[in-house]
Structure 1
Amino acid sequence: MEVKIQAIHFDATEKLQEFIEKKVAKFGKFSEEIRKVEVSLKVVKPETSMNKEASIKVLASTGEFFAEKVCDTFEEAVDVCLDALVRQLSKYKEKQRDH
């Protein structure tokens, strides 16, 4: 599974990149069909609290899944996005089983 992290208009720290890669790796265990995960991070202007935006696109052989959240920290935004994507993938798998 390929992981691509894009920080828009700022440099993501190594610690942040490691955090994302670790979280996304767990996500890979969820489904073998996941080929690529694209993570985009950006700071929403004006610079106030709740201005860290993370969007995650999961490209799987069965389709594409997407989540985007704005939180106080990038770590929190990534966590919330991954939770949403796990729910999307679970629903998708259940639908497949029902057919």
Structure 2
Amino acid sequence: MNVQIQTVHFDADQKLLDHVNAKIEKLNTFHDKIIGAEIYLKLDNFSHQVKDKVAEIKVYVPKHSYFVKHQSKTFEESFDLAFNSLVNQVKRKKEKIQIAHI
């Protein structure tokens, strides 16, 4: 699986990158044909005092792609919420495919 992590308006520390990579590797347990993933970590409202952290995840599988976006006060929390939503999407889609093949 090809994983790309991009940070916008900041430089991520190694701890955050390790956290993201560890979680993304777990996606293979939910879907075995993942081609790649793109993760965007952004500081939202950059020109204002309030700096919300946004995590966007795009995952590509044959003939389909998934996208989730979450925003919170920390990158870890934003990424974890987005990852959980992504796992739910993958599971639902896989169940629909399995039911259609029965």
> Structure 2 stretches of 5 or more lacking a match?
none
Q: Which amino acid aligns with 2:33?
A: E
The question of whether the paired residues in 2 share the 8 Å contact of 1:33 and 1:62 is answered with no
Residue 3 of structure 1: aligned partner = 3
Q: Which amino acid aligns with 2:97?
A: Q
* Worse-matched range after superposition: 25-34 or 14-23: 25-34
Q: Give the secondary-structure state (helix, strand or coil) at the position aligned to 2:56.
A: strand
Task: Map 1:38-49 to 2 at 5 A.
Answer: 38-45=38-45, 46-48=48-50
Q: How far did residue 54 of structure 1 move?
A: 0.4
Q: Give the secondary-structure state (helix, strand or coil) at the position aligned to 1:38.
A: strand
Output the TM-score relative to the length of structure 1.
Answer: 0.93
CA distance in 2, matches of 1:62, 1:90: 16
Q: Which has the larger radius of gyration?
A: 2
Q: How far did residue 69 of structure 1 move?
A: 0.4
**Shift in alpha-carbon separation, 1:47–1:39, aligned structure 2, 3 A:** farther
Percent identical across equivalent pairs?
35
**Shift in alpha-carbon separation, 1:29–1:47, aligned structure 2, 3 A:** farther
RMSD of aligned residue pairs (Cα, Å): 1.2
Q: Cα deviation per residue 1:58-81 (whole Å; 9 max; x = unaligned)?
A: 011141000000011111111101
* Count of aligned pairs between the two proteins: 98
The question of whether the paired residues in 1 share the 8 Å contact of 2:30 and 2:91 is answered with no
Moved over 6 A (4+): none
Q: How far did residue 98 of structure 1 move?
A: 1.5
Residue 14 of structure 2: aligned partner = 14
Q: How far did residue 29 of structure 1 move?
A: 2.0
Output the TM-score relative to the length of structure 2.
Answer: 0.90
Residue 76 of structure 2: aligned partner = 75
CA distance in 2, matches of 1:37, 1:16: 17
CA distance in 2, matches of 1:10, 1:79: 19
Q: How far did residue 97 of structure 1 move?
A: 1.3
